[in-house]
């Protein structure tokens, strides 16, 4: 509901709006029943409500893929871009409008294959935004092709006898990039942990990269099935400066105390293991952010339009 009231001095209007989750509801999500994206969408909308982010000051950017339908389903500003190109668009938005809250959604093919170069440099730039990798280990929208994160020997339409290569590890890849400042992993079937991870990422000052393990009920339903059914296959990273949800202690008893300021230990824990590790692997807010290093001069809306028209005129035929 929206309320407006006059200031005590009578010199303007006080913005007293309060937003409920319904205020952030865009189009009805068209993902398959049982798709983990539904859980992630709910967590994002819950975060927007808790932080009371104004829709006109919030932007969701995506590339191409099932996960990249996200901007259509959230009632904020959105940009549905090209395959693999979500991050350069998001960085451009952050440079020009650093006051905006920017969220990026990408799939494992979108981020780790065609968008891999942008992913590496976005990590290095360390612009202040939340980047979500929704990893279902498969190209879902294009009907089941092997992606960079598909497990070894897992069959697909392009490799029916199984993936030939060991999967890429998005966590170690990101941790190995200069200027990486926030790396975390969570799972969409653990909604409390998913929400707390998103919240920590939002409050981080810098490029917050979250790999979200996400089930695809059509093409990769079996990949995470054992971990969903057996909590003993999951290991939680807990710390006072990380994430610890006491309500989950009785379910997820495998826990490791990990200080996320320790980069070497973060890299060790991010290595492939028999258990799925979730939590904050690394956090460092002392690194330079791109929108500060490349600070652009403040411009009015009229000045922006004038500059845009001048740039377009350069290419007129």
Read off the pLDDT of residues 26-78 as tens digits, 9 standing for 90 and up: 999 999 999 999 999 999 999 999 999 999 999 999 999 999 999 999 999 99
CATH for 50:
3.40.50.970
Element (H, E) at 290: helix 290-293
Residue 10 inside a domain? The answer is no
Residue 292 inside a domain? The answer is yes
Residue 167 inside a domain? The answer is yes
Under DSSP, the state recorded for 194 is: H
Residue 5 inside a domain? The answer is no
Residue 4 inside a domain? The answer is no
Residue 53 inside a domain? The answer is yes
3-state SS, 128-172, equals: CEEEEEEECCCECCCCCECCCCCCECCCCCCCCCCECCCCCCHHH
pLDDT of residue 16: 85
Q: Please answer whether residues 62 and 70 qualify as being in contact, where contact means their C-beta atoms are separated by less than 8 angstroms.
A: yes
Number of domains in the chain: 1
Domain range for 76 is 19-314
- In 3-state terms, what secondary structure has residue 211? strand
Whole-number percent of the chain with pLDDT over 90: 77
> Is residue 313's pLDDT more than 70?
yes
pLDDT of residue 247: 94
pLDDT of residue 11: 54
pTM of whole model > 0.85? yes
Residue 98 inside a domain? The answer is yes
- Note the pLDDT tens digit of each residue in 120-170: 999 999 999 999 999 999 988 888 888 999 899 988 888 899 889 999 999
Residue 3 inside a domain? The answer is no
Q: Which residues contact 129 (CB under 8 A, 6 or more apart)?
A: 90, 91, 94, 102, 103, 104, 207, 208
């Amino acid at each position: 509901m929206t309320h407006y009231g006059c200031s005590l001095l009578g010199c303007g209007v006080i913005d007293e709006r309060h937003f409920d989750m319904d205020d952030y509801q865009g189009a009805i999500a068209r993902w398959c029943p049982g798709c983990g994206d539904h859980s992630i969408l709910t967590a994002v909308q819950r975060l927007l409500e808790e932080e009371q982010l104004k829709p006109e000051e919030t932007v969701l950017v995506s590339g191409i893929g099932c996960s990249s339908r996200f901007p259509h389903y959230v009632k904020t500003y959105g940009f549905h871009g090209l395959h693999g190109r979500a991050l350069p668009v998001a960085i451009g938005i952050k440079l020009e409008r650093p006051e905006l809250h920017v969220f990026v959604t990408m799939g494992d093919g979108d981020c780790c294959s065609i968008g891999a170069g942008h992913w590496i440099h976005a990590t290095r730039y360390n612009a202040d935004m939340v980047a979500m990798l929704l990893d279902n280990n498969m190209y879902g929208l294009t009907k089941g092709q092997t992606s960079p994160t598909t497990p070894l020997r897992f069959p697909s339409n392009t490799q029916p006898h199984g993936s030939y290569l060991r999967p890429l590890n998005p966590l170690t890849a990101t941790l190995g990039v200069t200027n990486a400042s926030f790396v975390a992993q969570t799972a969409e079937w653990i909604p409390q942990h998913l929400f707390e991870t998103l919240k920590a990422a939002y409050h981080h000052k810098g490029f917050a990269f979250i790999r979200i393990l996400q089930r695809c009920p059509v093409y990769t339903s079996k990949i995470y099935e054992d971990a969903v059914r057996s909590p003993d296959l999951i290991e939680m990273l807990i710390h006072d400066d990380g994430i610890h949800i006491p309500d989950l202690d009785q379910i997820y008893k495998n826990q490791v105390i990990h200080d996320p300021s320790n980069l070497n230990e973060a890299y060790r824990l991010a290595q492939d293991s028999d258990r799925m590790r979730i939590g904050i692997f690394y956090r460092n807010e002392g690194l330079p952010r791109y929108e500060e290093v490349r600070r652009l001069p403040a411009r009015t809306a009229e000045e922006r339009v004038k500059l845009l028209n001048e740039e377009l005129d350069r290419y007129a035929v």
